Amino acid sequence: MSLKILNKEEKREIEKKLKEQFGIKKINGLVLMRGKERLFLFSGNLNEDKIKKIEEKVNVERVGIYFAKVVEDKLKLSLDGTQLFKSQITKNILEVNEEQMKEWMSGSDLFIKTGKKDFLVIKYKEDFLGCGKVSENKIRNFVPKNRRIKK
């Protein structure tokens, strides 16, 4: 499963989805895709050709930072993705209190009725804490196990 460097049109489509869902207007750098769902952002010194040449010689697991996953034609921002775009995120934000923040960061789902059915960015004060999937009465937690706070 190789990395695919998205062309300008594909990148614009990702930017369009990010704008619709979260208000994010601009992605600075190359957008790469691993498989059919994992999106990475690279803003280093390597151009497209150099990345392809490296990949011909060695198996490249990732280039850049994992920022989102394509889920049923929507984008779910990773924890790093919420940090990466925190200055641009203006939509679908759920602000939580300290108790909810501790529950979230320990890996628990939040049982909150939001009236929405989409992905929401979880925010505590000025900090973005990742993205959750909203259903009728809860927000599903996607904080990776290695980044959770131990209870």
Q: Is the pLDDT of residue 15 over 70?
A: yes
C-beta atoms surrounding 117 within 10 Å: 9
C-beta atoms surrounding 86 within 10 Å: 14
pLDDT of residue 17: 97
Which of these, 78, 68, 88, lies nearest to 122 by C-alpha position? 78
Q: Which residues contact 36 (CB under 8 A, 6 or more apart)?
A: 70
**Helix residue spans in 41-92 (DSSP H):** 48-57, 79-84
Res. 120 pLDDT band, cuts 50 70 90: very high
pLDDT tens digits along 65-110: 999 999 999 999 999 999 999 999 999 999 999 999 999 999 999 9
pLDDT of residue 53: 72
What's the pTM value of the predicted model, to 2 decimals? 0.88
* Interatomic CA distance for residues 139 and 135, integer angstroms: 6
User: What domains are there in the chain, each with its CATH number?
Assistant: 1-91 (3.10.450.220), 92-151 (2.30.130.60)
pLDDT of residue 10: 95
pLDDT of residue 114: 85
pLDDT tens digits along 16-68: 999 999 999 999 999 999 888 999 999 877 777 777 777 777 766 667 899 99
Lowest mean pLDDT among 5-14, 59-68, 131-140: 59-68
Average pLDDT score over residue span 123-144: 93
pLDDT of residue 63: 76
pLDDT of residue 46: 76
- Side-chain-side CA neighbours of 123 within 13 Å: the count stands at 17
Give the single-character DSSP code of 56: H
Do 77 and 68 form a contact (C-beta atoms < 8 A)? yes
Residue 78 exposed, middle or buried by CB count within 10 Å (0-12, 13-18, 19+): buried
